[in-house]
Homo-oligomer: A and B are copies of this chain.
Amino acid sequence: MATWTVGQVADLFGVTVRTLHHYDEIGLLVPSGRSAAGYRLYTDADLTRLQQVVVYRRLELPLDEIRELLDGGEDAVEHLRRQRDAVMSRLDELSELVAALDRALEREMSDQPATPEEMKELFGDGFKDEYQAEAQERWGETDAWKQSAERTKRYTKADWAAVKAEMDAVNAAFIAAKRRGEPATGEAAMDAAEVHRRHIADRFYDLDHEFHRGLADLYVSDPRFTKSYEDLEPGLAQYVRDAIHANSDRHAE
């Protein structure tokens, strides 16, 4: 009868020689014969058994359980059926795993920093690369800028949406106060200014009342800031600037 050596069997079944040695050691698959020189010799029956082992192993069954199963004196068809059942349920598990990974991926992706496209979608044309570049040029070396950059780096789309919502709310408060005819030095406008300051301090960089004044002046001196306010409501830039100064005065006392 034909026999095979470890190397041949290994190639045939896609396992390593070491694996065959191991199976021999633990008595899972002891070759039926040895050559004069001590070479392991595998027969047909050994190969059949190895085939079963390989299948069960792919199900991640512990080897000693595989041995018990194979030594249980069952017939081949029963093994095949049981293996099939086991593979199917393992397939279910793996599908579940993939689904879990997909969920994890989706969570991670939605936590990813927002892309430029998403930013534009949120903030419209005001968010332009040229402004970005210029602002970088002008403020890039300041601590406030660095701090802001550090913080916003990890902002997700959801974070930015929240920022925008907060901004909108503050602006709406300014506009409402202005339309009610209240002066920029009035309670409502000053409160809105304080919310504005806190918003920036929370979201971007530490901002005290003195620094807030500087920002406020920018709103009337830098035409781009001015424009974004004036587009919302004529005279709003100046109104916001005055409200911020009044608020800072109030807190200076």
Contacts and interface: CB of A to CB of B under 8 A. Distances in A.
Number of copies: 2
A89 B104 CA distance: 19
A120 B13 CA distance: 7
A57 B120 CA distance: 16
Nearest to A104: B80
A101 to B, nearest CB: 4
Interface stretch (A92-100, A205-213, A229-237): A92-100
A123 B55 CA distance: 9
Nearest to A113: B76
Nearest to A44: B116
Contacts of A94: 58, 87, 90-91, 94
A105 interface: yes
Among A78, A108, A113, A123, max chain B CB count under 10 A is at A108
A115 interface: yes
A12 B78 CA distance: 36
Interface string A41-81: 00010011001001110111000000000000000111011
A164 to B, nearest CB: 9
Contact of A81 (B91, B100, B157): B157
A108 B91 contact: no
A84 interface: yes
Contacts of A76: 108, 113
The secondary-structure label for the interface of chain A is helix
A112 interface: yes
A83 B102 CA distance: 10
A88 interface: yes
A171 to B, nearest CB: 17
A109 interface: yes
21 contacts: A12-B125, A14-B127, A47-B116, A48-B116, A51-B120, A54-B123, A58-B93, A76-B108, A77-B108, A78-B157, A80-B101, A81-B157, A81-B160, A83-B101, A84-B98, A84-B102, A87-B97, A87-B98, A88-B149, A90-B94, A91-B95
- Please provide the 8 A-B residue pairs with the shortest distance between their CB atoms, ordered closest to farther: A14-B126, A47-B116, A84-B101, A88-B153, A91-B94, A77-B108, A80-B105, A76-B108
Given A60-B97, A80-B108, A87-B101, 4 more contacts: A14-B126, A51-B116, A84-B105, A87-B94
